[in-house]
Amino acid sequence: GSLPSLSGIQMVLPLENEKQRDKAEKGGKKLDGFPYDKEISRSKSYREQISKLPAALRTADARLRKAPELMEMVHEEPDTKLSHYQAISSMKIVGSFNELALRWNELDDEQRRLHIALLLALFAQPENDVEAAVSTWQKMAKEQGLGGKALGTALQIVNPTTGKGANRTKASELAIGNQDSFWLLELLKFRGFMEAAAPLIIKESKDRKTYVLQPKRVHLDTLQAMMRDLRTVLWPTSAIKLDILASLRFAQLLVRHYRELFKRDSLRKRRGKESIKSIAHGFEVTSYKDMGSAYATMNVALINFPEWLPRMESQQTVEAAGELLQEHIQVIQSIRNSKGEEGAEEYELLRLYREFLSGNDLRPFWKFATLYGSYLMGLREKNPNRYIRPLSFQGMEILLMSDPTNNRDALEIVGNKGFQRIADAIRSATVFPQQRRIVNNDRTYEVRYGLGQELMRKARYKHEFLVALSEFLFQYNAETAQEDEKAIKELARNTHREMHPLSAQERRNHHLRYMTSEDDLKEVVALVDKHGSEVVGSLLVACGYSFKGSANGVSKQTDEPSADGVEE
């Protein structure tokens, strides 16, 4: 069929600043492009206004939930594509990029039709014959009187694996040089870069990362809107946190998208069963190292989206997915020491979580959860006033239920009543007494700080693990019985009645815990015999250090730093 008029369509806007305008004027041309200097100025002004708001509104979460105070300022915020042009400027390719953009802008309507037809023919077959397309273009250029070469430099910003000296077909020489590519393809890559990429600078450095969405089945306008929104809530932080948050933030935006769909259409139940993996595969992420005079590609990797989210089948499952994502984001943001930095311990936690995210494998998550529980207790001890989000037991159940076939063994373990009671005992000997001591100066029970690490050290060997667990339960029950006896005597003395066992209400009034039974231990021993001590031990410690209660029972306060690493 015939193509519509293309005279008003620009492939990409060239970067326009004072230097580039002067350069264009010297060549007798007028540059009409992305107003770089104006957007930089607008960015500074917007951030100055944001800095005057309360701390809770200076976060990405406030932007995501569209806080009214921020929405009043949205018309003043910079274009989200500013980050793309900042990347182009930082990587010192403005001249080469503008040349590509201007070559397209200088084509007339008929010439643009011919170029689009050439691209459609090129991509009509699975195996793209680029050489034939180049020959066709050269013939067309001669007929139309077009200037410029067919081949141009394959710029590293959109060709991260084809930088200087990289990926030669045959290692025939050591010379460092750029590779060539069809100019029209390079222009098309920049169009994709503008729509599907989120380029960022790593906090407190000049190194860069670029996240490029790998779409699967999604409407173009939906993709464009979600990537625009992602760029407004994905802020500079450490390299490893960026990888994690890019995935989780995009998933949050998808949840918000489905929440709005269900609000508009209550009959969507039968149609809204897409998972996040049906929308896109994940992000291709390229890491660039600042070498002073240029950037070098250090790594190209894939970050997956969380497959463990509930399917968006109803308003209820959408809300559950949103709460789980918010929990995990707050946990990730909590992982920084008192100086706001990431040391070896923090990096190991984040590495395990990224491994879990990238591989969609729960085994690294259980390792992460067991370490995070002890880490959280250590942070609380050093800074009692700092809010740190715990993992929730309900969240862990959702992870397991997301793929019940592959997680059948873990579901059997976590669903066991004896397992749950012993996990409660671990919780009552670690996170609960610490919290009560910090908040109420309640020192009724000893805080067992090294319990999780001790159990995990022993978990490699079945006998040693069961001995360590038995010793803990013996001490736990003895301490519990001792405090019960004190409470019984106190009640008898104050009420002038005979001593008798405490009622459930009396136990709650005295903040007393329950003892475990011999049957509970037997059930865990049977689980160890069937599934192994390492699996049971990891799940036991992870669940034992988790928060158990309704999701709404955990404070929604974030531990997210305010924006302060934005690139100039």
**pLDDT, one tens digit for every residue, the chain (568 residues):** 555 555 556 789 999 999 999 998 888 888 889 999 999 999 999 888 888 888 888 888 888 888 887 777 766 788 999 999 999 999 999 999 999 999 999 999 899 999 999 999 999 988 899 999 999 999 999 999 998 999 998 999 999 987 554 555 555 554 556 688 999 999 999 999 999 999 999 998 999 999 999 988 888 888 999 999 999 999 999 999 999 999 999 999 999 888 888 877 765 554 555 667 778 889 999 999 999 888 999 999 999 998 888 888 888 888 999 999 999 999 999 999 888 889 999 999 999 999 998 887 888 999 999 999 999 999 988 888 888 889 999 999 988 888 777 888 999 999 999 999 999 999 999 999 998 899 889 898 999 999 999 999 999 999 999 999 999 999 999 999 998 888 888 887 777 667 667 777 877 787 889 999 999 999 999 999 999 999 999 999 999 999 986 444 444 444 444 444 344 3
Give yes or no for a contact between 373 and 431, defined as CB atoms under 8 angstroms apart: yes
Rounded-to-integer distance, Cα 17 and Cα 23, Å: 10
DSSP H stretches of helix in 180-219: 183-196
Give yes or no for a contact between 247 and 357, defined as CB atoms under 8 angstroms apart: yes
Give yes or no for a contact between 186 and 215, defined as CB atoms under 8 angstroms apart: no
Rounded-to-integer distance, Cα 435 and Cα 554, Å: 13
Task: Write down the pLDDT at residue 427.
Answer: 95
Instruction: Using DSSP bridges, classify how beta strands 197-201 and 208-215 pair: parallel, antiparallel or unpaired.
Output: antiparallel
| Residue with the two structure tokens 């301490």 | 479
Give yes or no for a contact between 278 and 244, defined as CB atoms under 8 angstroms apart: no
Phi-psi region of 403 (alpha: psi -120 to 50; beta: other; left: phi over 0): beta
At 320, list the tokens: 């559950």
Rounded-to-integer distance, Cα 432 and Cα 426, Å: 9
Task: Write down the pLDDT at residue 24.
Answer: 87
Task: Write down the pLDDT at residue 164.
Answer: 52
Rounded-to-integer distance, Cα 198 and Cα 212, Å: 6
At 298, list the tokens: 């250090």
Instruction: Using DSSP bridges, classify how beta strands 180-182 and 197-201 pair: parallel, antiparallel or unpaired.
Output: unpaired
Confirm whether pTM is higher than 0.85. yes
Give, as one character, the DSSP assignment of residue 182.
E
Task: Write down the pLDDT at residue 171.
Answer: 54
Give every CB contact of residue 429 below 8 A, 6+ residues apart in sequence: 445, 446, 447, 448, 451, 472, 476
Rounded-to-integer distance, Cα 473 and Cα 476, Å: 5
Rounded-to-integer distance, Cα 199 and Cα 541, Å: 38
Rounded-to-integer distance, Cα 542 and Cα 410, Å: 12
